[in-house]
Amino acid sequence: MTESTARDGEHRTTLLRGGEVHSPADPFATAMVVERGHIAWVGSEGAADAFADGVDEIIDLEGALVTPAFTDAHVHTTSTGLALTGLDLTRARSLAEALALVRKHSAGHPAGAVVIGHGWDAARWPERRHPSRAELDEASGARPLYLTRIDVHSAVVTTALLDLVPGVAELTGYRPDAPLTGAAHHAVRRAAHAAITPAQREAAQRAALEHAASLGIGTVHECAGPDISDEDDFTALLALARSGSTPRVVGYWAEAVTDAKDARRVRELGAAGAAGDLFVDGSLGSHTACLHAPYADAAHTGTAHLDAAAIAAHVTVCTEAGLQAGFHAIGDAALTAVVEGVRAAAQTLGLARVRAARHRVEHAEMLTPETIAAFAEFALTASVQPAFDEAWGGEEGMYAQRLGAERARTLNPYAALLRAGVPLALGSDSPVTPLDPWGTVRAAAFHRTPEHRISVRAAFTAHTRGGWRATGRDDAGVLVPGAPADYALWRTGDLVVQAPDDRVARWSTDPRSGTPGLPDLTPGNELPLCLRTVVSGQTIWTHQM
């Protein structure tokens, strides 16, 4: 890729040419002009000649693909950065290997220093059990250690960390030698995160945002809240993003609001909404997702944090304040509570006002035809994570262990959501699953349950334009004149178009289809390599050759 500069200026005008531009404005576009942070023109190579003498910069794409930058609609930025730079157990293949990693990492910390790690998953280990407190005490050298399960809804800790939390044994979710959940988990998390200095926090945030930019992600939705992080972490991240040279950060603060004063305080924090991980329930992996029928491998139905009345109150106040509301809901009982609460709010305020607010639900895994229809009725955005199915779906996966194969097959029904007209926004829930946008699109297109698969084009749209629409913006996430110039350049193989009817052909490379092509994401194929990420016309990341 080569560049030439015609002249300098405060608002640079850039011509990109000689590549493939993914734009609904012109399915055959090979060139694009960016001016004052927005797309000014897309079109053919021949027409690009008319712009060449009037721009500040010309970029020869050398065949690269240009697409809208991705939006990851559910991220925990600081935790992602800590996992990237610290103790990450997501690739540990056994309990023994995990303990060895804890031992090695802890040895690099002073005695008494708090150690934070993430990503253990006993369901993947041959031992099929979590590390005991005694094992962690030994491996950490008796240091305070906080180690979250991969879903971040439970944690194992050492005795030294429990000693920093007086009264923890009296809190809900405490068990002497089992993963902590609920209030006990939140208490030890606060104690562990209190040990992170502002400098460490900023380094973690920068690491996460730089990694996102290197993957062609131009925007992340930070899902924060009092049970997840703290206000200082949230406001510091928003300030860092405003300084430039990083992906955009749209912040959500997951705290229930009961009156206009609460709503005003959420706005003052800089949040786009009182949404994100406002917990209606927990997770399937930690047995805390709230179900109508008991788990297949546990004699209970999980944990409910909010009922329909509390959900209705939150949605009502947020709607009246012009603020997005949203919830974390995974289990079928939790999703029933959400739609009942939103329905009650709509009966109070009117359906049109609730629909216009574009409230959202994170994860939304155990949907039924009835709850899908309610999502469509109330225009609820489903903020979903296809990598969950890739990691835990299938006949032998964790979902089947927790629910039984029959119930597990109903999870994450993306095709049914799209058929019903439910808005989709794709994300990772990083660090629960990695930042990996093309992998996320592939996971949606090649869902482990075939009837839930959607086209690559639909998944790509949900991971670009869908994230913008989830924030109330319909004019972004697409390369058309007037849209924000958030885009990425990719090195990839041949571009293909998925045919709408598998009886004809699953893939088409015929340019006469008039549909912009996308990379062939068939499992086993190499994913595209990001060469550059641009936000508002400013380059925030460039691949170093």
Q: What are the DSSP E strand ranges found in 300-341? A: 324-329
H or E element, residue 155: strand 155-157
Answer yes or no: is pLDDT of 352 > 80.
yes
Cα–Cα distances (Å) from 398 to 247, 297, 403, in that order, read 33, 11, 9
Q: What is the full DSSP assignment across 293-311?
A: S--TTSSS-------HHHH
Across the range 405-425, mean pLDDT stands at 98
- Give the tens place of pLDDT for each residue, 25-61: 898 999 999 999 999 999 998 899 999 889 999 999 9
The reported pLDDT for the residue numbered 243 is 87
Beta bridge partners of 511: none
Q: And the tokens for 56? A: 């500040």
The reported pLDDT for the residue numbered 12 is 85
At 75 the three-state DSSP class reads: strand
Cα–Cα distances (Å) from 530 to 93, 214, 315, 459, in that order, read 29, 7, 39, 18
CA pair distance 115, 135, nearest whole angstrom: 15
- Give the tens place of pLDDT for each residue, 125-139: 999 999 999 999 999
CA pair distance 440, 457, nearest whole angstrom: 12
Residue 506 confidence class, pLDDT cut points 50, 70, 90: very low
**Of residues 173, 184, 199, the one with CA closest to residue 146:** 184
The reported pLDDT for the residue numbered 514 is 64
On whether the CB atoms of residues 276 and 251 are closer than 8 A, the answer is: no
Residue 515 confidence class, pLDDT cut points 50, 70, 90: confident
- Give the tens place of pLDDT for each residue, 81-102: 999 988 999 989 999 999 999 9
Residue 512 confidence class, pLDDT cut points 50, 70, 90: very low
How many CB atoms are closer than 10 A to CB 161? 26
Across the range 353-373, mean pLDDT stands at 98
Q: What is the mean pLDDT of the chain?
A: 93
At 65 the three-state DSSP class reads: strand
Question: 274 φ, ψ to 5°?
Answer: -90, 75
Which amino acid is present at 422? V
The residues near 133 (Cβ < 8 Å, ≥ 6 apart) are: 156, 157, 158, 159, 176, 177
Q: And the tokens for 503? A: 């009886």
How many CB atoms are closer than 10 A to CB 91? 10
Answer yes or no: is pLDDT of 159 > 70.
yes
**DSSP type of residue 132:** P
Question: 169 φ, ψ to 5°?
Answer: -65, -15
- Give the tens place of pLDDT for each residue, 267-286: 999 999 999 999 999 999 99
Residue 244 confidence class, pLDDT cut points 50, 70, 90: confident
The reported pLDDT for the residue numbered 501 is 45
On whether the CB atoms of residues 229 and 223 are closer than 8 A, the answer is: no
Across the range 110-124, mean pLDDT stands at 90
Answer yes or no: is pLDDT of 361 > 80.
yes
The residue count for the chain: 545
Q: What is the full DSSP assignment across 455-491?
A: -HHHHHHHHTHHHHHTTT-SS-SS-STTSB--EEEEE
At 118 the three-state DSSP class reads: strand
Domains parsed from the chain with CATH numbers = 13-68+479-492+528-542 (2.30.40.10), 77-195 (3.10.310.70)
On whether the CB atoms of residues 380 and 359 are closer than 8 A, the answer is: yes
CA-CA-CA-CA torsion sign (104, 108, 114, 118): negative
Residue 235 confidence class, pLDDT cut points 50, 70, 90: very high
Residue 30 region by backbone torsions, left for phi larger than 0, else alpha for psi between -120 and 50, else beta: alpha
Q: And the tokens for 218? A: 């131009």
Answer yes or no: is pLDDT of 5 > 50.
no
Q: What is the pTM of this model?
A: 0.92
Residue 2 confidence class, pLDDT cut points 50, 70, 90: low
At 343 the three-state DSSP class reads: helix
> Helices 77-85 and 231-242, interaxial angle, to 10°?
90
CA pair distance 366, 348, nearest whole angstrom: 27
Residue 528 preceded by cis peptide, ω within 30: no
What Rg do the C-alpha atoms of the chain give, in angstroms?
Answer: 24
